[in-house]
Chains A and B, each alone.
Chain A
Amino acid sequence: MTPSVSGSGVTVQTVTPDTAIPWRIRLKDPYFWANWTVVAAFIVFFALFVALEPGNFLTAFNVNSILTAAAVPAILTLGQAFVIMTAGIDLSNAAVLTLGAVSFGLGFANGYPLVVCMLMAIVAGLIAGLINGILVAIFKIADFIVTLGMLSLAGGVALVISDARPVQVIDPFLARMAINSIWVVPILMIIALVLLVIAQFVLTQTRFGTYVLATGGDSGVARAMGVNIKKIKISVYAISGTLAGVAAILTVARIGSAEPAVNTTFLLNSVAAVVLGGVSLFGGRGNMIGPFVGAILLMMIVNGLTVAGVPQYYQYIAVGVIIFLSAILVRNAK
């Protein structure tokens, strides 16, 4: 359509629909950069490590190790991303994972079939998530406090259920799931990828996804437009809890037992990965792919530094520095 000038000095212009936004314009959109900075960083570090340790880094074995290590963090990151997009935060996911693992162990120790044990883990996560969501959405308690409380509560309940003793879980199916791979991609990571596809679909192709972003972007406006804010908030926390339950199953498979200790590294990495992935802590924007890649990136960095022989203590510093720099980069993309 050609532009035309009407009497009041306003021009009319139609935009060709859908895909025709030229790449030039896309590259200038700060949102594009926020989301894809992490992919760029991933490529840079990947290239770096390959260059440093060509024989050792880019082996099938090593890539497999990285992907295995990244599966559980990636799943937790997906849940955390949903919550952070509503301008909330879930500090309890690591503890809910433990709760899920211990629930699994309880079932296993009682001889229940594997499927039942898995359901127990997932339901435990779901319930914890629902409690979080209800307290935040209906009782209007700050998300920080609610999930911090759940961190303690879930950890404590896990100790009570397990009597602070781990339950050994030896099961051929779980062992196969944890060890086997397709080409270099471990089954654990394939599970995570399937969840990623579902999460990204839900975020971008369903109304729920739009409402999640609207709730985070401006909950007052969203509510005024008739979006059910309460339902959205409860849902995202429930999703985070459920995913923690799924992650629990994978963790039990990987380390061969249901352990009652909470691993707070999972929590910290999930938040870091979400921020690295371009999701604003203030909510309202982002996608699922960025955080997922961020989770893998964090594991790849630790692996790469180990392979390169960087002393342990410098590894901590390196990871911290990288998170700072990436956060600054992402922040500048406004």
Chain B
Amino acid sequence: MRHLRSRHVGALAVLASGALVLAACGGSSDDNGGGGDAKPLSEIKVAGVVKGLDNPFFITIKDGMEAAAAEYGIQLTVEAAPGLNDETGQANKLDTLAGQGFDCFVVIPISSNNLTQGLGKISQQGIPIVNIDSPVDPAGLEAAGGKINAFVGTDNTAAGAKGGAVMKEVLGEDATVGLVAGLAGNVTSNERIDGFQEGAAGMTFDGPINADWDTTKALDAANAMLASNPDISGFFAANDQMAQGIAQAVEQAGRSDIRVMGVDGIEAILADIAAGKVYGSVSQYPYVMGLLGVEACIVAAQGGTVPEFVESPAVVITPDNVDKAIADFPLPPEAYENPFATLIQR
């Protein structure tokens, strides 16, 4: 017990130096005021808050953001919540970044509401906000005194519908499709599933069962659905990671007749489509979304006006166009519209 104090001091010193080392891994940021017209690119700081960095879709968005940052020479910081459903964690991240002197924010909220208060505070500081992929609820935002300068994304319902149309074409109206949704209650998931059912109207649907965006849970869900309904000839998953789980289940069940489709267009799914394990995916080109998002931010940070709604490309990838898709990845196999590039002042 005599040595208690010195042992404690020693341990605390270890703790402190450990954290110091870790902190040194990151750089320190300069405190730079925002505002001013046609700010030089090298001085522009953009913050991105995405849903979660353990998902390839959002990692690709981050890649697109970084590509834009590299091309224009701006400073970019991307943060995410520890998990895809940690709404409070994401709000905490945004709050932390809000006070750090960024010129513009690119955000993908986990739910339509969880970032609203933080965004309100940011708008009140006069900092522009670009919302990509998952929309922030406009009414809530307005009540919090916030304002979105631009939205870049795909209408998730339209994306689902495109997938539904393709499924209907391939299987015909008399078939049954199993639906596997993401996190229960999630807006993106709901829209994609609803959209799919619209696009595939007339077909019979089983589910939707929630698999929380998780590959293994989707595998189990697919097995359960197959067991209770062997008539299923197709599966639609609200994201690609779940589609991969379903494809595994289908393969293990020996049902090569079943068509599996997902949404997202991640690189792994393209390989699966080429290999014939998965039939298709509605690719939303996360890379482009990230790219466009940052570009929109640059324009806004320079004081320019951005168009309020920009649709990022959504293409259904099937065995017909998968080779080109793989070759062009992460960009879409088709050309797309970029309204921002011309607005940026170098």
Physical contact A–B (CB less than 8 Å)? yes
Give me the interface of A with B, judged by CB distance under 8 Å: 27-28, 30, 33, 37, 40-41, 44-45, 48-49, 52-53, 55-56, 59, 61-62, 65-66, 68-69, 72, 159, 162, 164-166, 168, 170, 175, 178-179, 251, 254-257, 259-266, 299, 301-314, 316-318, 321-322, 325-326, 328-329, 332-333
Interface-lining segment among B20-28, B224-232, B317-325 = B20-28
Q: Does B203 contact A (CB under 8 A)?
A: no
Question: In the complex the two chains form, what is the Cα distance from A41 to B211 in whole Å?
Answer: 40
Give 6 A-B contacts (CB < 8 Å), ordered by A residue: A40-B8, A48-B23, A168-B137, A259-B185, A306-B93, A314-B26
Q: Answer whether A325 and B85 are a contact pair too, CB < 8 Å, given A52-B28, A256-B113, A317-B22.
A: no
- Please determine whether A329 and B113 come into contact, CB atoms closer than 8 angstroms: no
Q: For A27, list chain B residues within 8 Å (CB).
A: 4-5
Interface-lining segment among B10-18, B159-167, B331-339 = B10-18
Question: In the complex the two chains form, what is the Cα distance from A44 to B20 in whole Å?
Answer: 11
- Please determine whether B77 and A309 come into contact, CB atoms closer than 8 angstroms: yes
Chain B interfacial residues counted at CB < 8 A: 64
Interface-lining segment among B95-103, B149-157, B233-241 = B95-103
- Please determine whether B112 and A257 come into contact, CB atoms closer than 8 angstroms: yes
- Please determine whether B26 and A310 come into contact, CB atoms closer than 8 angstroms: yes
Question: In the complex the two chains form, what is the Cα distance from A45 to B139 in whole Å?
Answer: 40
- Please determine whether B7 and A332 come into contact, CB atoms closer than 8 angstroms: yes
- Please determine whether A256 and B88 come into contact, CB atoms closer than 8 angstroms: no
Question: In the complex the two chains form, what is the Cα distance from A214 to B203 in whole Å?
Answer: 64
Q: How far is the CB of B47 from chain A (nearest CB, A)?
A: 10
Residue on A with the closest CB to B187?
A166
Question: In the complex the two chains form, what is the Cα distance from A45 to B17 in whole Å?
Answer: 10
Question: In the complex the two chains form, what is the Cα distance from A72 to B91 in whole Å?
Answer: 13
Bitwise interface map of B from 173 to 211 toward A, beta carbon under 8 Å scored 1, else 0: 000000000011111001000000000000000000010
Give me the interface of B with A, judged by CB distance under 8 Å: 1-2, 4-5, 7-8, 11-12, 14-16, 18-20, 22-23, 25-29, 31, 53, 77-80, 82-83, 85-89, 91-93, 95-101, 111-114, 116-117, 120-121, 137, 139-140, 143-144, 183-187, 190, 210
Q: For B87, list chain A residues within 8 Å (CB).
A: 255, 259, 261, 263
Q: How far is the CB of B256 from chain A (nearest CB, A)?
A: 33
- Please determine whether A257 and B111 come into contact, CB atoms closer than 8 angstroms: yes
- Please determine whether A56 and B19 come into contact, CB atoms closer than 8 angstroms: no
Question: In the complex the two chains form, what is the Cα distance from A304 to B87 in whole Å?
Answer: 19
Our pick among A28, A44, A61, A311 for the contact of B99 (Cβ within 8 Å) is A61
Q: For B85, list chain A residues within 8 Å (CB).
A: 261-263
- Please determine whether B97 and A306 come into contact, CB atoms closer than 8 angstroms: yes
- Please determine whether B79 and A48 come into contact, CB atoms closer than 8 angstroms: no
Q: How far is the CB of A80 from chain B (nearest CB, A)?
A: 17
Q: How far is the CB of B201 from chain A (nearest CB, A)?
A: 22
Question: In the complex the two chains form, what is the Cα distance from A305 to B14 in whole Å?
Answer: 17
Our pick among A48, A62, A66, A329 for the contact of B19 (Cβ within 8 Å) is A48
